[in-house]
């Protein structure tokens, strides 16, 4: 059992891994023994985060603004030069836009769909040589797409393009899982609920969380770093080798009990 959840020797890339959920995931992978490359739009933030996480293991900063497919292609080329092999791809970088329906702008769609849907697909396509080279029957390569409860149920967030993009990510995950199974690559979606990130900052302050939000969550609390890191480690380790095409909510019961 001691190595059931070990990621020793694995190499991973986590997009958007310098902050928020991405950093929680990156730290978990590092603690499990993986070498991890992280991205962020801002080079200083990316490099500072990699330096701080270096205390946990080998963490490499690869700044990238993933708003275009060309940027994703360039990122993979730089990852290939800096790290080489890829056992784990976590598509976490995301973008949102909120606004009332009467004034929700057309410009709120292209950028959100590009970052949340097209970029993850491009990352998968470009890393297929690396992922396919390391996957075996017993130890497949792993792709994890980060979805959202907003893409599974109506959350009344007035974030129309974001919710649609995450629903697309969930379906794309299933399509990719079916197409890549024969190459010994698993593809799963992790579907977070409400965590203490920038996206929930308006619902909490340093000392408290909006009571209405907590009442909406059956377990009555926000997610913690170990909650999101744990499910990703499971999916990437020997313990999760037989799981593909799954959509796994990590949300305190918002989806399953709703």
DSSP 86-114: -SEEEE---------GGG--GGGTHHHHI
Residue 199's pLDDT band, with cuts at 50, 70 and 90, is: low
Task: Check 79, 160, 162, 242 and give the catalytic one.
Answer: 162
Q: Which helix (H) or strand (E) holds 185?
A: strand 185-192
Q: For 154-174, what is the mean pLDDT? A: 96
Strand 185-192 vs strand 11-14: parallel, antiparallel, or unpaired? Answer: unpaired
pLDDT at position 206 over 70: no
Question: Facing residues of 249 across strands?
Answer: 191
Q: Chain centroid to CA 42: how far?
A: 18
Torsion angle of the four alpha carbons 215, 217, 219, 222, in this order, in degrees rounded to the nearest 10: -100
Instruction: Note the pLDDT of residue 208.
Output: 74
Active site residue 162: yes
In whole angstroms, give the CA distance from residue 213 to residue 211. 5
In whole angstroms, give the CA distance from residue 43 to residue 199. 21
Cα 63 to Cα 9, 44, 49, 117: the distances in Å are: 23, 8, 11, 19
pTM over 0.85: yes
pLDDT at position 203 over 90: no
In the chain, where are the structural domains located? 11-250
pLDDT at position 85 over 90: yes
Residue 9's pLDDT band, with cuts at 50, 70 and 90, is: very high
Residue 65's pLDDT band, with cuts at 50, 70 and 90, is: very high
In whole angstroms, give the CA distance from residue 204 to residue 207. 8
Residue 119's pLDDT band, with cuts at 50, 70 and 90, is: very high
Question: Facing residues of 141 across strands?
Answer: 185
CB burial of residue 33 (10 Å; 0-12, 13-18, 19+): middle
Mean pLDDT across the chain: 95
Q: For 210-226, what is the mean pLDDT? A: 94
Torsion angle of the four alpha carbons 27, 28, 30, 33, in this order, in degrees rounded to the nearest 10: 170
Torsion angle of the four alpha carbons 147, 151, 156, 158, in this order, in degrees rounded to the nearest 10: 80
pLDDT at position 197 over 80: no
Q: For 192-210, what is the mean pLDDT? A: 72
Q: Are 92 and 16 spatial neighbours (Cβ–Cβ below 8 Å)?
A: yes
Fold of the domain spanning 11-250: Rossmann fold (3.40.50)
Judged by average pLDDT, the poorest of 60-64, 71-75, 210-214 is: 210-214
Q: Are 193 and 251 spatial neighbours (Cβ–Cβ below 8 Å)?
A: yes
∠176-153-157 over CA atoms, to 5°?
A: 110
């Amino acid at each position: 059992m001691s190595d059931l959840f070990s990621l020793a020797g694995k190499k991973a890339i986590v997009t958007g891994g310098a902050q928020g959920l991405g950093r929680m995931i990156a730290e978990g992978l590092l603690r499990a023994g993986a070498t991890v490359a992280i991205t962020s739009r801002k080079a200083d933030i990316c490099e500072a985060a990699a330096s701080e996480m270096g205390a946990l293991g080998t963490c490499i900063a690869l700044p990238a603004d993933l708003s275009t497919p060309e940027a994703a292609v360039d990122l993979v080329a730089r990852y290939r030069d800096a790290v080489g092999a890829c056992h784990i791809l976590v598509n976490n970088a995301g973008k949102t836009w909120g606004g009332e329906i009467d004034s929700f702008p057309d410009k709120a769609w292209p950028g959100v769909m590009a970052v949340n849907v097209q970029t993850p697909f491009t990352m998968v396509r470009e890393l297929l040589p690396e992922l396919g080279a390391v996957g075996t029957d017993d130890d497949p390569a792993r792709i994890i797409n980060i979805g959202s409860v907003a893409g599974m149920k109506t959350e009344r967030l007035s974030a129309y393009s974001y919710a649609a993009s995450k629903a697309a990510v969930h379906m794309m995950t299933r399509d990719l899982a079916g197409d890549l199974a024969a190459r010994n690559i698993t593809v799963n979606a992790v579907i977070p609920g409400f965590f203490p990130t920038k996206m929930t900052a308006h619902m909490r302050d340093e000392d408290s969380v909006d009571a209405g939000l907590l009442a909406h969550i059956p377990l009555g609390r926000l997610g913690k770093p170990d909650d999101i890191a744990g499910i990703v480690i499971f999916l990437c380790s020997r313990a999760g080798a037989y799981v593909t095409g799954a959509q796994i909510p990590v949300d305190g019961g918002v989806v399953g009990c709703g």
